[in-house]
A = this chain, B = another copy of it.
Amino acid sequence: MIIDCHGHYTTAPKALQDYREKQIAGLKDPAHVPTKDALNITDDQIRESLEGAQLKFQRERGSDLTIFSPRASAMGHHIGNETTSRYWTEQCNDLIYRVCSLYPENFVGVCQLPQSPGVAPARCISELERCVNQLGFIGCNLNPDPSGGNWTAPPLTDKYWYPFYEKMVELDVPAMIHVSATCNPNFHTTGSHYINADTTAFMQFITSDLFKDFPNIRFIIPHGGGAVPYHWGRYRGLAQDLKRPPLDEMMRNNVFFDTCVYHQAGIDLLFKIVSIDNILFGSEMVGAVRGIDPTTSHYYDDTKRYVDKVPLTESDKRKVYEENTRKVYPRINKRISHKAR
């Protein structure tokens, strides 16, 4: 079985974006009182949005199940206030629930969180509980920079985040560290902000005792761990100079990289450098890079092609494609049996 740990609902029906635009327009009117409002999307519209995209690619590329969350770039935690973020988040998560209900064998849900700049992460606990306990979600996407590129929140290793982490551990769900769109013109959302956030989070983990405080917490750093595998010697050396644990030891039970690296040489490096137990198959399709690579005639984000070319034992392949992901997101086991498909 092949589980793709990283998919966003980037192809949601247009009514979702219309809702968001209406919500944002309301922010400009001082007399505006925010309401959640209804979102009119039919089951057929949801089916249509997926059949020609994620489901088609699952079939064509040969993956079985996608761990699916709202569009990351659209989370936009920096827009409006906590109420804006909460209503938008609930709509997005409810839509993921409907996707997973319509296609229970193809998608399992991960939630967006109602983060907002300056608002304590503890305020996201109720939405995490709702998504996990009521909607059957198996994890969340945690934004280390709700300000959208101004990096005003405390580091992920600060006690500011601890109440939320306690709930993650209690519910036994991991978080993928994933920023959203940036409003800082220095950064390009998918080109630099995403990758920078991955690299930033890893270095925060190196320099803190977070995993002493939370030995069972699990984080996925997406996009192949940002710059980390390429600069593995730098991070090993920094950890050593700073008298911190070796990287493999720090990562072991707590930090995992996905395979969202869009060329063969990058994937080869990832598998050469990072322990096989800490790599989860992921593609982020349909996502940041949508084109076809003219040098291979295949989609850049068809990461299964690259992973298939890495010389791995059958046992290691099973780890990357399924078993590691089941360990990191254990609630998936209640949803999808090992024998499915």
Chain A residues engaging chain B, CB cutoff 8 angstroms:
144-145, 149-151, 153-155, 158, 184-188, 190-192, 195-196, 199-200, 202-204, 206-207, 223-224, 226-227, 229-238, 240-241, 261-263, 265-266, 269, 272-273, 288-291, 293, 300-301
Question: Can you list 24 contacts pairing A with B, beta carbon distance less than 8 Å?
Answer: A150-B151, A151-B184, A151-B187, A155-B185, A158-B185, A187-B200, A190-B234, A191-B207, A191-B238, A192-B199, A195-B227, A196-B196, A196-B227, A199-B227, A227-B227, A229-B230, A230-B230, A230-B269, A232-B266, A233-B263, A238-B288, A240-B291, A265-B273, A266-B269
Within the assembled complex, what's the spacing in Å between the Cα atoms of A184 and B154? Answer: 9
Residue of B nearest to A284 (CB): B234
Distance in angstroms from A298 CB to nearest chain B CB is 11
Chain B residues, Cβ within 8 Å of A290: 237, 241
Contact A293 B236 (CB under 8 A): yes
Given A233-B266, A234-B300, 5 more A-B residue pairs with CB atoms under 8 Å apart are A196-B199, A226-B227, A227-B230, A230-B266, A234-B289
Q: Which residue of B lies closest to A200 (CB)?
A: B192
Chain B residues with CB under 8 A of A300? 233-234, 236-237
Which residues of chain B are within 8 angstroms of A223 by Cβ–Cβ distance? 231, 234
Which residue in chain B gives the minimum CB-CB distance to A300? Answer: B237
**A265 and B192 form a contact (CB under 8 A):** no
Asked if B289 and A186 sit within 8 Å, CB to CB, the answer is: no
A234 in contact with B151 given A144-B186, A186-B200, A291-B241 (CB within 8 Å): no
Known: A186-B200, A195-B227. A236 touches B263 (CB 8 A): yes
In the assembled complex, the Cα of A153 lies from the Cα of B199 at a distance in Å of 22
Determine the chain B residues whose CB is within 8 A of the CB of A206 once the complex forms: 188, 191
Instruction: Give complex CA distance A202, B231 in Å.
Output: 17
Closest to A151 in B: B186
B231 touches A261 (CB 8 A): yes
Contact A293 B237 (CB under 8 A): yes
* Chain B residues closer than 8 Å to A185, beta-carbon distance: 154-155, 158
CA distance A291 to B239 in the complex (A): 10
Contact among B145, B199, B233 for A195, CB-based, below 8 A: B199
Interface centre among A224, A234, A288, A300, by most chain B C-beta atoms within 10 angstroms, is A234
Q: Cα distance A300–B235 when bound, in Å?
A: 10
CA distance A188 to B293 in the complex (A): 35
Complex Cα–Cα for A265 and B202 (A) = 19
